[in-house]
């Protein structure tokens, strides 16, 4: 290719760090030192009078006449070299005329004027390297690229190279180490010429994790040929194992004025619009992200169409500034020199700066068990609207949606559709979106089968947990009894079932326990393991006595192995009502969040002597499990 448009998805999503600016300076600042020599080598010192002003200078040695004929600028003699012009059936390699280096075409008249005004040095400013003042710097703490006059071209910028077979066997590890953040690889030109190094370049970038894109140089003169080029680039990518997910940069359509024996390039923007539509349709239809690339004078000439410009995000101009401004979006790239030097590449290489005209900020979205969350875009400019889509799993509904910026401040959210769609205005900070999901109480709800469980009440999720984990079951009547007072025997039964109903010797039961009752093994297990104790000297257990909140805390504390964590209970007005034997247990339960207190008239109390319902026990156990 000789010139391009758009940047890698991966580079767009991850703004560069400030440290990258130093690497970019080292990797890319070599261009100015090379450019003066390159200008002397590449540009003509004189142009023969027989070459008309309306001819196009296509290299330091050749110009193309309006008729399509290619002549030497030194003596005006025509050339029919097939290496330069191709044949009627096969177009030439577009880099042949320049020995593999980029060259932005200009009119011979402009070249003559420049030579008259300032000689080779001034001409070099029009089509030479970046020694004319464009530079790397920083903006808002991110690497940035500036025009000579200090105008910001792009912030959050990355340095990218574009390469072809003319760059030889590239040492891609050295290129990556030099600070290059991406590469655009020529895959071929026309409809039948694969770049000889495309396979190797693609393989190495994939191996080393270097974001890369693809470009194809176009020889299209009508819609049908463009469609063929689109089909061919897709076929080549598939042949070389490049899927849409492999690309960090788009697939670019390189549109320039070309020379091809027996064919004439289009000049009408309407013709080029049809060409671009056809090519984009083929490549986008195969699932690839696309872009259009060209140089400034061509973009404002034969490519001067709103449709084409809407697809341009990479433009070439070698000089102090980029005068093409009609990019299709915030993201843009400037190919600012063909004379760069990068470790790992012999000779000169094209250098590009890609970034944003305006700062963008990342939006990260994360769901939890029971659903997912997605956002409409990331990164996003401040002030733009971002849509959040919440997708609960079957049997779940949204519980809490949290949207905060990078300072931790809450971002205002607007509800579009309750439970599924929301929007917010992007602040000038990164944003995090997260969601939690709960049971929706429907047919998949674990407690749905119990008609006396009210899914709208506080205990719903706790009862779900207890049923789902086998901790508690309903009665034979089909009811759960969430409000029923729990007995001491019943909590022993719950924990006995939860631990897998281990062996127990009922002979150890106190006299007030019926050894043939349903609870006999449960209570025997609880006493043997120390999870529960009898009253006083242990001669009685009280299996049918109502369980109190402090007793429930003590049972769970014993089951947990009597952990050392404690909370200060003095803030509770009824702390003095806690029995001395239960104080450590209740202190642990509060510290662990197993017990959170009871709201009585706006005051949070422990209520240690209150009886414990089946729903309360489910709540305590699910809290302990962290559910």
Give the residue-averaged pLDDT of 541-553.
Answer: 93
pLDDT digits (tens, 9 = 90+) for 584-618: 999 999 998 888 888 888 899 999 999 999 988 88
Q: Give the Cα separation of 440 and 484 in Å (integer).
A: 24
At the fourth CATH level, which superfamily is domain 9-356? Glycosidases (3.20.20.80)
pLDDT digits (tens, 9 = 90+) for 150-200: 999 999 989 999 999 999 999 999 999 888 999 999 999 999 899 999 999
Q: Which of 212-216, 228-232, 365-369, 429-433 has the lowest mean pLDDT?
A: 365-369
pLDDT at 80: 83
Which carries the bigger pLDDT value, residue 627 or residue 312?
312
Q: Around Cβ 46, how many Cβ atoms within 10 Å?
A: 10
pLDDT at 28: 56
Answer whether residue 276 shows pLDDT above 70: yes
When mean pLDDT is compared over 133-137, 304-308, 584-588, the highest value belongs to: 304-308
* 576: CB partners within 8 A, 6+ apart: none
Locate all alpha helices (DSSP H) within 170-317, ordered by sequence: 172-177, 198-208, 223-239, 269-285, 296-299, 306-310
To the nearest whole number, what is the mean pLDDT of the chain?
A: 86
Query: For residue 64, which of 44, 74, 78, 45 has the smallest C-alpha distance?
Result: 78
Q: Check if the beta carbon of residue 371 is closer than 8 Å to that of residue 398.
A: yes
41 — pLDDT class (breaks 50, 70, 90): very low
Q: Which residues pair with 293 in a beta bridge?
A: 254, 314
Where do the domains of the chain lie?
A: 9-356, 360-439, 460-625
Q: Is 540 exposed, middle or buried (0-12, 13-18, 19+ CB in 10 A)?
A: middle
Give the residue-averaged pLDDT of 528-549.
Answer: 92
pLDDT digits (tens, 9 = 90+) for 19-31: 444 444 444 544 3
Q: Check if the beta carbon of residue 191 is closer than 8 Å to that of residue 120.
A: no
Give the residue-averaged pLDDT of 108-123.
Answer: 60
Q: Quote the DSSP letter at residue 374.
A: E
Pick the CATH number of 360-439 from 3.40.91, 3.40.720, 2.60.40, 2.40.50: 2.60.40
pTM for this prediction:
0.64
């Amino acid at each position: 290719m000789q010139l391009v448009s758009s940047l890698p998805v991966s580079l767009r999503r991850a703004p560069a760090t400030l440290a990258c600016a130093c690497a970019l300076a080292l990797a890319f600042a070599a261009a100015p030192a090379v450019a003066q020599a390159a200008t002397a080598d590449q540009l003509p010192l004189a142009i023969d009078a027989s070459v008309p002003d309306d001819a196009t200078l296509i290299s330091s040695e050749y110009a193309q006449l309006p008729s399509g004929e290619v002549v030497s600028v030194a003596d005006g003699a025509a050339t029919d070299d097939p290496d330069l012009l191709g044949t009627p059936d096969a177009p030439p390699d577009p880099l042949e005329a320049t020995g593999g280096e980029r060259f932005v075409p200009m009119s011979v008249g402009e070249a003559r004027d420049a030579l008259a005004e300032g000689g080779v040095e001034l001409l070099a400013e029009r089509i030479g390297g970046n020694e004319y003042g464009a530079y790397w710097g920083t903006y808002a703490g991110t690497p940035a690229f500036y025009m000579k006059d200090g105008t910001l071209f792009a912030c959050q910028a990355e340095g990218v190279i574009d390469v072809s077979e003319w760059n030889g066997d590239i040492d891609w590890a050295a290129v990556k180490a030099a600070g290059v953040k991406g590469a655009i690889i020529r895959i071929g030109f026309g409809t039948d010429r694969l770049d000889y190094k495309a396979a190797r370049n693609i393989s190495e970038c994939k191996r080393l994790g270097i974001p890369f894109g693809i470009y194809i140089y176009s020889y299209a003169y009508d819609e049908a040929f463009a469609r063929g080029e689109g089909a061919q680039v897709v076929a080549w990518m598939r042949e070389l194992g490049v899927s849409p997910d492999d690309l960090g940069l788009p697939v670019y359509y390189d549109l320039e004025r070309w020379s091809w024996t027996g064919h004439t390039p289009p000049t009408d923007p309407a013709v080029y619009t049809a060409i671009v539509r056809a090519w984009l349709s083929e490549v986008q239809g195969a699932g690839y992200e696309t872009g259009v690339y060209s140089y400034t004078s061509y973009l404002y000439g034969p490519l001067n169409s709103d449709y084409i410009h809407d697809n341009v995000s990479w433009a070439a101009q070698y000089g102090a500034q980029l005068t093409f401004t009609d990019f299709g979006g915030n993201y843009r790239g400037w190919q600012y020199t063909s004379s760069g030097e990068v470790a790992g590449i012999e000779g000169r290489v094209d250098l590009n700066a890609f970034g944003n005209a305006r700062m963008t900020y990342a939006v990260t979205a994360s769901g939890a068990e029971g659903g997912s969350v997605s956002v409409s875009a990331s990164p996003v400019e401040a002030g733009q609207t971002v849509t959040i889509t919440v997708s609960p799993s079957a049997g779940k509904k949204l519980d809490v949606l949290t949207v905060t910026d990078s300072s931790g401040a809450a971002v205002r959210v607007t509800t579009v559709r309750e439970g599924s769609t929301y929007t917010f205005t992007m602040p000038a900070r990164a944003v995090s979106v997260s969601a939690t999901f709960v049971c929706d109480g429907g047919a998949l709800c674990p407690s749905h089968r119990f008609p006396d469980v009210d899914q709208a009440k506080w205990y719903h999720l706790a009862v779900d947990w207890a049923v789902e984990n086998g901790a508690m079951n309903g009665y034979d009547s089909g009811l759960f009894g969430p409000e029923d007072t729990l007995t001491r025997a019943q909590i022993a039964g719950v924990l006995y079932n939860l631990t897998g109903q281990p062996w127990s010797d009922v002979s150890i039961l106190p006299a007030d326990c019926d050894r043939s009752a349903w609870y006999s093994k449960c209570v025997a297990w609880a006493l043997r393991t120390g999870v529960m104790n009898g009253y006083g000297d242990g001669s009685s257990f009280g299996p049918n006595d109502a369980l109190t909140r402090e007793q429930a805390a003590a049972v769970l504390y014993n089951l947990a192995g009597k952990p050392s964590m404690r909370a200060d209970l003095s803030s509770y007005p009824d702390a003095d009502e806690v029995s001395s034997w239960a104080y450590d247990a209740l202190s642990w339960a509060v510290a662990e969040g197993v017990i959170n207190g009871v709201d009585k008239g706006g005051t949070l109390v422990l209520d240690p002597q209150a009886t414990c319902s089946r729903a309360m026990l489910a709540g305590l156990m699910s809290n302990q499990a962290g559910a």
